Amino acid sequence: MKRIFFSLSGIAIIALLFAFNNSKQTGYTTVTNDVSFEIPKEVLTVINNKCYGCHNTKSKGEKSKKKLNWDNFTNNEYNSVKIYTKLGKIEKMLGENKMPPAKFLEKYPKKTLTEEEKQLILAWAKEQKIALQSE
């Protein structure tokens, strides 16, 4: 009986781990003040690798974090209007190949967005804007 109990709890733990892992893989949905907003995992990976360093609450660049702070998408600091505006700015910056900044890329060429990554973020931004409009 004891053995059955242990194996059952083992299965439960594995199932929980699976569920947790899966939710991570499909990205996360975060509910801001008045809207739901989604960043899929693939998009998040690109952002974490190539944008987040300069655009987060603890970032040293005052200007970059003031203009765009990724943490604010998830901590309820940005409401739907703000999110919509930021998505538009992201589209503009990427459309003009302005981010990450050229000066930074001279030093860290590996941080350049590949065409695929750029299209991924652009498609995501566009999709999220449409979702926000229909809320």
- For ligand HEC, the binding residue among 32, 64, 69, 72 (CB under 6 A) is 64
Our finding on whether 69 is near ligand HEC (CB under 6 A) is no
Mask of contacts with ligand HEC, 21-60, x by CB under 6 A? -----------------------------xx-xxx-----
Q: How near is the Cβ of 76 to ligand HEC at its closest, in Å?
A: 20
**Interatomic CA distance for residues 131 and 28, integer angstroms:** 15
Those residues with Cβ within 8 angstroms of residue 61's Cβ, 6 or more apart along the chain or in another chain: 54
Location of structure tokens 């987060």 = 56
Residues in region 86-115 near ligand HEC by CB under 6 A: 89-90, 93, 99-101, 104, 113
Those residues with Cβ within 8 angstroms of residue 95's Cβ, 6 or more apart along the chain or in another chain: 122
Q: Residue 104: count other Cβ atoms within 10 Å of its Cβ.
A: 14
- Which residue from 70, 76, 81, 79 is spatially nearest to 44, judged by alpha carbons? 70
Tell me which residue has its CB nearest to ligand HEC.
51
Kindly tell me which of 7 and 49 has the beta carbon lying closer to ligand HEC: 49
List residues near ligand HEC by CB under 6 A: 50-51, 53-55, 61, 63-64, 67-68, 89-90, 93, 99-101, 104, 113
